[in-house]
């Protein structure tokens, strides 16, 4: 497939927080219509990669093209255009507790479009139907269960019919049944609405169920990108450790450790 067709095309990405390198030489391409899962242990750099792709951080090195635009060099109008075409459902970005479910879902339409109120209401209700929350628009977030909150946040993320949807830890804090329902919903969004979806998850079962392709991150590097079967059968000790939940052996460089403790801004 030609390069121009990738919706996300990250090459050679490097990211630093202070003196620590968090991502090194990351290549990450997402093709239209796929569900890509980003897997990796805690602190492997999954959120940092997403933050760069969303234009929240500038890369220290490398290029990031999203929907054909080099986002490190995009102007405000280009960024706004991209934001309109991207849906985001992040763990931290929960519903606003002071707004009804319907008003939460309508938020992107009110902030990013000039549509009239009637159209906004109809569009948000349709998206609530899509996530099986039809008729719940007048409830407050505090009246919803954990799974319903996730689905309402998903309705908000897709209310603008994004080409690209980012979903951070959909299963976090949910019981297995509710989590499985959410997986089904993600698959339906890809199939029915033809969205391209990037999901970050710790849940192996969920990852294997929804992913077309998986990118495995470890210590800020991409260990591999492949299909579910390719990742499952990977001849790579670290990947097998992650799949079998074996902890990494800790190798401590004592001199470097002492130096870090005694240097400022370590």
Ligand X SMILES: Nc1ncnc2c1ncn2[C@@H]1O[C@H](COP(=O)(O)OP(=O)(O)OP(=O)(O)O)[C@@H](O)[C@H]1O
Please state, as a whole number, how many other Cβ atoms lie within 10 Å of the Cβ of residue 215.
25
Minimal distance in Å, beta carbon 45 to ligand X? 4
User: Strand, helix or coil at 221?
Assistant: strand
Minimal distance in Å, beta carbon 126 to ligand X? 32
- Residue for token digits 């569009």? 123
Return d(Cα 96, Cα 80) in angstroms, integer: 22
Q: Which helix (H) or strand (E) holds 155?
A: helix 146-158
- Give the nearer residue to ligand X in terms of CB position, either 46 or 151: 46
- Give the nearer residue to ligand X in terms of CB position, either 169 or 183: 169
Minimal distance in Å, beta carbon 41 to ligand X? 7
Q: Hey, what are 199's tokens? A: 């999901």
Please state, as a whole number, how many other Cβ atoms lie within 10 Å of the Cβ of residue 205.
13
- CB-count burial class (<10 Å; 0-12, 13-18, 19+) for 78: middle
- Give the nearer residue to ligand X in terms of CB position, either 23 or 152: 23
- Give the nearer residue to ligand X in terms of CB position, either 44 or 196: 44
- Give the nearer residue to ligand X in terms of CB position, either 40 or 147: 40
Question: How remote is the C-alpha of 201 from its chain's centroid?
Answer: 9
Minimal distance in Å, beta carbon 182 to ligand X? 18
Residues that bind ligand X (CB under 6 A): 17, 22, 40, 42-48
How far, CA to CA in Å, does 134 sit from each of 2, 139, 152? 40, 11, 10
Minimal distance in Å, beta carbon 265 to ligand X? 11
- Give the nearer residue to ligand X in terms of CB position, either 48 or 196: 48
Q: How many Cα atoms occupy the beta-carbon half-sphere of 149 within 13 Å?
A: 20
Minimal distance in Å, beta carbon 211 to ligand X? 17
- Residue for token digits 């890809």? 190
């Amino acid at each position: 497939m030609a390069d121009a067709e990738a919706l996300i095309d990250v090459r050679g990405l490097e990211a630093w927080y202070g003196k620590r390198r968090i991502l090194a030489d990351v290549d990450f391409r997402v093709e239209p219509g796929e569900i890509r899962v980003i897997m990796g242990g805690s602190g492997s750099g999954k959120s940092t990669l997403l933050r760069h792709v969303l234009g929240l951080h500038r890369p220290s090195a490398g290029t990031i093209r999203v929907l054909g635009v080099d986002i490190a060099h995009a102007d405000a109008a280009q960024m706004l255009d991209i934001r309109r075409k991207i849906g985001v459902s992040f763990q931290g970005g929960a519903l606003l507790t002071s707004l009804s479910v319907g008003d939460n879902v309508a938020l992107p339409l009110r902030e990013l479009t000039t549509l009239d109120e009637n159209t906004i209401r109809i569009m948000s209700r349709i998206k609530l139907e899509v996530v099986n929350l039809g008729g719940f628009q007048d409830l407050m977030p505090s009246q919803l269960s954990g799974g319903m909150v996730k689905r309402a946040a998903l309705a908000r993320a897709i209310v603008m019919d994004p080409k690209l949807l980012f979903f951070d830890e959909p299963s976090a804090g949910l019981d297995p049944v509710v989590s499985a329902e959410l997986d089904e919903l993600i698959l339906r969004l890809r199939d029915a609405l033809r969205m391209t979806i990037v999901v970050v998850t710790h849940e192996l079962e969920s990852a294997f169920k929804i992913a077309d392709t998986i990118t495995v991150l470890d210590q800020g590097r991409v260990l591999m990108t492949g299909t579910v079967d390719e990742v499952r059968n990977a001849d790579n000790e670290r990947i097998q450790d992650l799949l079998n939940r074996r902890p990494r052996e800790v190798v401590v460089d004592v001199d470097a450790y002492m130096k870090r403790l005694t240097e400022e801004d370590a």
